[in-house]
Structure 1
Amino acid sequence: MTQPPLRRLLDLPGIDDLELKALMKPRAADPDELPEFPEIAEAADAVARAAFGLTPDEAAAVQRPADWDPIERLDPADMAEAFAAEGWDVTDARRKPLRMLAHWALPLALAMRGVAGALPFHAEPDQPVTDWGSNLKAEATRFRKR
Protein backbone atom coordinates (compact mmCIF):
# COMPACT_ATOMS: atom_id res chain seq x y z
CA MET A 1 0.00 0.00 0.00
CA THR A 2 1.36 3.40 -0.90
CA GLN A 3 1.45 6.23 1.58
CA PRO A 4 -0.33 9.44 0.65
CA PRO A 5 2.02 12.26 -0.30
CA LEU A 6 3.11 14.60 2.47
CA ARG A 7 1.32 17.92 2.74
CA ARG A 8 3.78 20.72 2.08
CA LEU A 9 3.81 23.59 4.53
CA LEU A 10 5.41 25.72 1.83
CA ASP A 11 2.29 25.32 -0.34
CA LEU A 12 0.04 27.09 2.18
CA PRO A 13 -0.79 30.68 1.17
CA GLY A 14 1.74 33.24 2.35
CA ILE A 15 4.37 30.84 3.72
CA ASP A 16 6.55 30.97 0.60
CA ASP A 17 6.48 34.79 0.58
CA LEU A 18 7.60 34.92 4.21
CA GLU A 19 10.34 32.38 3.53
CA LEU A 20 11.65 34.70 0.80
CA LYS A 21 11.59 37.64 3.23
CA ALA A 22 13.46 35.51 5.78
CA LEU A 23 16.02 34.71 3.11
CA MET A 24 16.56 38.43 2.51
CA LYS A 25 16.59 39.23 6.25
CA PRO A 26 17.87 36.08 8.03
CA ARG A 27 17.40 37.55 11.51
CA ALA A 28 13.66 37.76 10.81
CA ALA A 29 13.50 33.95 10.83
CA ASP A 30 14.49 33.87 14.52
CA PRO A 31 11.32 34.14 16.65
CA ASP A 32 13.23 36.16 19.26
CA GLU A 33 14.34 38.71 16.65
CA LEU A 34 10.98 38.91 14.84
CA PRO A 35 9.71 41.93 16.86
CA GLU A 36 12.49 43.99 15.22
CA PHE A 37 10.71 43.42 11.90
CA PRO A 38 7.12 44.50 12.61
CA GLU A 39 5.91 44.17 8.99
CA ILE A 40 7.15 40.57 8.78
CA ALA A 41 5.83 39.76 12.27
CA GLU A 42 2.39 41.10 11.38
CA ALA A 43 2.34 39.19 8.09
CA ALA A 44 3.51 36.00 9.83
CA ASP A 45 0.75 36.27 12.42
CA ALA A 46 -1.85 36.81 9.68
CA VAL A 47 -0.57 33.82 7.70
CA ALA A 48 -0.54 31.59 10.81
CA ARG A 49 -4.07 32.64 11.73
CA ALA A 50 -5.31 31.98 8.20
CA ALA A 51 -3.54 28.62 7.96
CA PHE A 52 -4.02 27.21 11.46
CA GLY A 53 -6.61 29.41 13.16
CA LEU A 54 -4.19 30.80 15.74
CA THR A 55 -1.04 32.87 15.91
CA PRO A 56 2.20 31.61 17.50
CA ASP A 57 1.54 33.79 20.58
CA GLU A 58 -1.96 32.33 20.95
CA ALA A 59 -0.51 28.85 20.44
CA ALA A 60 2.02 29.42 23.21
CA ALA A 61 -0.85 30.28 25.59
CA VAL A 62 -2.73 27.04 24.85
CA GLN A 63 -2.77 24.45 27.63
CA ARG A 64 -1.11 21.33 26.25
CA PRO A 65 -2.20 17.78 27.18
CA ALA A 66 -0.17 15.88 29.78
CA ASP A 67 1.22 13.51 27.13
CA TRP A 68 2.32 16.34 24.82
CA ASP A 69 5.39 15.56 22.74
CA PRO A 70 7.21 18.92 22.41
CA ILE A 71 7.86 18.69 18.66
CA GLU A 72 8.25 22.49 18.51
CA ARG A 73 11.38 22.36 20.71
CA LEU A 74 13.37 19.96 18.56
CA ASP A 75 16.36 20.87 16.43
CA PRO A 76 15.11 21.92 12.92
CA ALA A 77 16.32 18.73 11.19
CA ASP A 78 14.71 16.54 13.85
CA MET A 79 11.60 18.69 13.69
CA ALA A 80 11.38 18.12 9.93
CA GLU A 81 11.60 14.35 10.49
CA ALA A 82 8.96 14.44 13.22
CA PHE A 83 6.55 16.45 11.06
CA ALA A 84 7.20 14.11 8.12
CA ALA A 85 6.23 11.18 10.33
CA GLU A 86 2.91 12.94 10.94
CA GLY A 87 2.31 13.70 7.24
CA TRP A 88 3.79 17.18 6.77
CA ASP A 89 6.75 18.23 4.64
CA VAL A 90 8.29 21.28 6.32
CA THR A 91 11.32 21.55 4.05
CA ASP A 92 12.19 23.76 1.12
CA ALA A 93 13.08 22.69 -2.43
CA ARG A 94 16.59 21.72 -1.32
CA ARG A 95 15.13 19.49 1.45
CA LYS A 96 16.32 21.83 4.22
CA PRO A 97 13.95 22.84 7.04
CA LEU A 98 12.11 26.09 6.34
CA ARG A 99 13.79 29.19 7.72
CA MET A 100 10.69 30.24 9.66
CA LEU A 101 9.84 26.72 10.82
CA ALA A 102 10.27 27.74 14.47
CA HIS A 103 7.46 30.27 13.90
CA TRP A 104 5.05 27.71 12.38
CA ALA A 105 5.93 24.61 14.42
CA LEU A 106 3.72 25.09 17.49
CA PRO A 107 0.55 26.25 15.67
CA LEU A 108 0.96 23.41 13.15
CA ALA A 109 1.58 20.82 15.88
CA LEU A 110 -1.45 21.96 17.89
CA ALA A 111 -3.68 21.96 14.83
CA MET A 112 -2.56 18.61 13.41
CA ARG A 113 -2.97 16.93 16.79
CA GLY A 114 -6.40 18.46 17.32
CA VAL A 115 -5.51 20.38 20.48
CA ALA A 116 -6.22 23.89 19.19
CA GLY A 117 -6.73 25.66 15.90
CA ALA A 118 -7.52 23.82 12.69
CA LEU A 119 -5.70 22.52 9.67
CA PRO A 120 -6.41 24.13 6.33
CA PHE A 121 -8.74 22.28 3.98
CA HIS A 122 -6.98 19.70 1.88
CA ALA A 123 -8.83 17.95 -0.93
CA GLU A 124 -8.40 14.21 -1.19
CA PRO A 125 -6.25 13.17 -4.15
CA ASP A 126 -8.15 12.13 -7.24
CA GLN A 127 -8.89 8.46 -7.49
CA PRO A 128 -7.36 6.76 -10.51
CA VAL A 129 -9.82 6.54 -13.33
CA THR A 130 -10.67 3.00 -14.19
CA ASP A 131 -11.58 2.21 -17.72
CA TRP A 132 -14.32 -0.22 -16.82
CA GLY A 133 -16.59 1.11 -19.58
CA SER A 134 -14.36 -0.11 -22.40
CA ASN A 135 -13.92 -3.48 -20.67
CA LEU A 136 -17.67 -3.81 -20.41
CA LYS A 137 -18.07 -2.92 -24.09
CA ALA A 138 -15.49 -5.51 -25.09
CA GLU A 139 -17.25 -8.16 -22.98
CA ALA A 140 -20.60 -7.30 -24.60
CA THR A 141 -19.08 -7.60 -28.07
CA ARG A 142 -17.60 -11.03 -27.25
CA PHE A 143 -20.93 -12.14 -25.81
CA ARG A 144 -22.81 -11.15 -29.01
CA LYS A 145 -20.33 -13.07 -31.17
CA ARG A 146 -21.03 -16.34 -29.31
Structure 2
Amino acid sequence: MTQAPLRRLIDLPGIDALEMKALMKPRMADPDERHEFPEIDEAAKAVFGLTPEEAEAIALPDDWDGIDRLEGFDLTDAFEAEGWDVTDSKRKPLRMIRHWALPLALAMRGAAGELPFAPEPGPDEPGDDWGAKMAAEATRFRKR
Protein backbone atom coordinates (compact mmCIF):
# COMPACT_ATOMS: atom_id res chain seq x y z
CA MET A 1 0.00 0.00 0.00
CA THR A 2 1.38 3.41 -0.89
CA GLN A 3 1.18 6.32 1.47
CA ALA A 4 -0.46 9.54 0.32
CA PRO A 5 2.02 12.34 -0.34
CA LEU A 6 2.57 14.73 2.55
CA ARG A 7 1.01 18.17 2.40
CA ARG A 8 3.70 20.83 2.69
CA LEU A 9 3.03 23.67 5.09
CA ILE A 10 5.39 25.93 3.16
CA ASP A 11 3.19 25.53 0.05
CA LEU A 12 0.18 27.11 1.75
CA PRO A 13 -0.56 30.72 0.72
CA GLY A 14 1.69 33.27 2.40
CA ILE A 15 3.76 30.82 4.44
CA ASP A 16 6.78 30.76 2.12
CA ALA A 17 6.89 34.55 1.89
CA LEU A 18 6.87 34.86 5.68
CA GLU A 19 9.60 32.23 5.94
CA MET A 20 11.74 34.37 3.63
CA LYS A 21 10.99 37.47 5.70
CA ALA A 22 11.96 35.59 8.86
CA LEU A 23 15.29 34.80 7.24
CA MET A 24 15.92 38.53 6.94
CA LYS A 25 14.31 39.43 10.29
CA PRO A 26 14.95 36.54 12.72
CA ARG A 27 12.84 38.22 15.43
CA MET A 28 9.83 37.46 13.28
CA ALA A 29 10.14 33.77 14.18
CA ASP A 30 9.96 34.51 17.92
CA PRO A 31 6.40 33.96 19.21
CA ASP A 32 6.97 36.64 21.86
CA GLU A 33 7.49 39.22 19.10
CA ARG A 34 4.40 38.25 17.09
CA HIS A 35 2.62 41.49 18.06
CA GLU A 36 5.13 43.42 15.91
CA PHE A 37 4.26 41.49 12.76
CA PRO A 38 0.54 41.65 11.91
CA GLU A 39 1.16 39.73 8.70
CA ILE A 40 1.59 36.56 10.78
CA ASP A 41 -1.98 36.82 12.08
CA GLU A 42 -3.24 37.67 8.59
CA ALA A 43 -1.58 34.62 7.05
CA ALA A 44 -2.73 32.27 9.81
CA LYS A 45 -6.30 33.57 9.58
CA ALA A 46 -6.30 33.13 5.79
CA VAL A 47 -4.82 29.64 5.90
CA PHE A 48 -6.27 28.09 9.08
CA GLY A 49 -9.25 30.33 9.84
CA LEU A 50 -7.77 31.42 13.17
CA THR A 51 -4.78 33.40 14.37
CA PRO A 52 -2.10 31.95 16.66
CA GLU A 53 -3.54 34.02 19.52
CA GLU A 54 -7.06 32.68 18.87
CA ALA A 55 -5.62 29.16 18.77
CA GLU A 56 -3.97 29.69 22.17
CA ALA A 57 -7.34 30.77 23.63
CA ILE A 58 -9.07 27.52 22.61
CA ALA A 59 -9.58 24.91 25.31
CA LEU A 60 -7.64 21.87 24.18
CA PRO A 61 -9.32 18.46 24.26
CA ASP A 62 -8.55 16.27 27.28
CA ASP A 63 -6.64 13.80 25.11
CA TRP A 64 -4.42 16.50 23.52
CA ASP A 65 -0.90 15.13 23.05
CA GLY A 66 0.97 18.45 22.95
CA ILE A 67 2.17 18.09 19.36
CA ASP A 68 2.44 21.87 19.17
CA ARG A 69 4.95 21.99 22.06
CA LEU A 70 7.45 19.53 20.61
CA GLU A 71 10.82 20.81 19.43
CA GLY A 72 13.01 20.22 16.39
CA PHE A 73 12.80 16.89 14.64
CA ASP A 74 10.38 15.48 17.24
CA LEU A 75 7.94 18.12 16.00
CA THR A 76 8.57 17.45 12.31
CA ASP A 77 8.25 13.69 12.83
CA ALA A 78 4.97 14.07 14.72
CA PHE A 79 3.46 16.26 12.00
CA GLU A 80 4.79 13.91 9.31
CA ALA A 81 3.00 11.02 11.00
CA GLU A 82 -0.20 13.06 10.60
CA GLY A 83 0.43 13.76 6.90
CA TRP A 84 2.16 17.17 7.04
CA ASP A 85 5.66 18.20 6.02
CA VAL A 86 6.64 21.20 8.18
CA THR A 87 10.22 21.46 6.92
CA ASP A 88 12.02 23.67 4.43
CA SER A 89 13.83 22.52 1.29
CA LYS A 90 16.81 21.41 3.41
CA ARG A 91 14.52 19.26 5.60
CA LYS A 92 14.97 21.56 8.61
CA PRO A 93 11.94 22.68 10.65
CA LEU A 94 10.46 25.91 9.31
CA ARG A 95 11.76 29.03 11.06
CA MET A 96 8.24 30.12 11.92
CA ILE A 97 6.85 26.74 12.94
CA ARG A 98 6.24 28.05 16.48
CA HIS A 99 3.57 30.32 15.00
CA TRP A 100 1.95 27.65 12.84
CA ALA A 101 2.15 24.52 15.01
CA LEU A 102 -0.93 25.05 17.20
CA PRO A 103 -3.28 26.44 14.51
CA LEU A 104 -2.22 23.62 12.15
CA ALA A 105 -2.63 20.95 14.82
CA LEU A 106 -6.07 22.23 15.82
CA ALA A 107 -7.22 22.44 12.20
CA MET A 108 -5.87 19.07 11.07
CA ARG A 109 -7.51 17.35 14.04
CA GLY A 110 -10.80 19.17 13.59
CA ALA A 111 -10.70 20.84 17.02
CA ALA A 112 -10.83 24.40 15.63
CA GLY A 113 -10.16 26.33 12.46
CA GLU A 114 -9.98 24.71 9.06
CA LEU A 115 -7.50 23.41 6.54
CA PRO A 116 -7.26 24.85 3.06
CA PHE A 117 -8.72 22.76 0.26
CA ALA A 118 -6.25 20.37 -1.35
CA PRO A 119 -7.38 18.64 -4.54
CA GLU A 120 -6.49 15.01 -5.02
CA PRO A 121 -3.92 14.42 -7.78
CA GLY A 122 -5.66 13.66 -11.07
CA PRO A 123 -4.62 10.94 -13.53
CA ASP A 124 -2.26 13.31 -15.37
CA GLU A 125 -0.73 14.80 -12.23
CA PRO A 126 2.12 13.39 -10.18
CA GLY A 127 0.82 11.10 -7.49
CA ASP A 128 1.67 7.71 -6.09
CA ASP A 129 2.88 6.34 -9.45
CA TRP A 130 4.90 9.40 -10.47
CA GLY A 131 8.21 7.48 -10.37
CA ALA A 132 6.82 4.74 -12.59
CA LYS A 133 5.57 7.33 -15.11
CA MET A 134 9.00 8.98 -15.19
CA ALA A 135 10.76 5.63 -15.68
CA ALA A 136 8.42 4.75 -18.56
CA GLU A 137 8.99 8.15 -20.15
CA ALA A 138 12.78 7.73 -19.82
CA THR A 139 12.57 4.33 -21.50
CA ARG A 140 10.53 5.79 -24.39
CA PHE A 141 13.06 8.63 -24.73
CA ARG A 142 16.03 6.24 -24.92
CA LYS A 143 14.31 4.19 -27.64
CA ARG A 144 14.04 7.22 -29.96
Residue 44 in 1 paired to residue 37 in 2?
no
- Counterpart CA distance in 2 for 1:48 and 1:32 is 16
Q: Which of 94, 97, 103 matches 2:93?
A: 97
CA contact (8 A) 2:7 2:83 kept: yes
The equivalent of 2:7 in structure 1 is 7
TM-score, reference length from structure 1: 0.82
The equivalent of 1:142 in structure 2 is none
Sequence identity (%)? 66
The count of residues paired between Structure 1 and Structure 2 equals: 125
- Counterpart CA distance in 2 for 1:73 and 1:42 is 23
Partner deviation per Cα, 1:96-129 (whole Å, 9 max, x = no partner)? 0000000000000000000000000000111369
CA contact (8 A) 1:27 1:33 kept: yes
Q: Which of 117, 120, 127 matches 2:116?
A: 120
TM-score, reference length from structure 2: 0.83
SS in 2 for 1:28: helix
CA contact (8 A) 2:10 2:87 kept: yes
Instruction: State the one-letter code of the partner of 2:73.
Output: A
The equivalent of 2:79 in structure 1 is 83
CA drift of 1:27 comes to 1.8
Instruction: Determine which structure has more spread, i.e. the larger CA radius of gyration.
Output: 1
Uncovered stretches (5+) of structure 2, i.e. residues with no partner: 126-144
CA contact (8 A) 2:76 2:86 kept: yes
Uncovered stretches (5+) of structure 1, i.e. residues with no partner: 130-146
- When the two chains are superposed, the root-mean-square deviation of aligned CA atoms in Å is 1.3
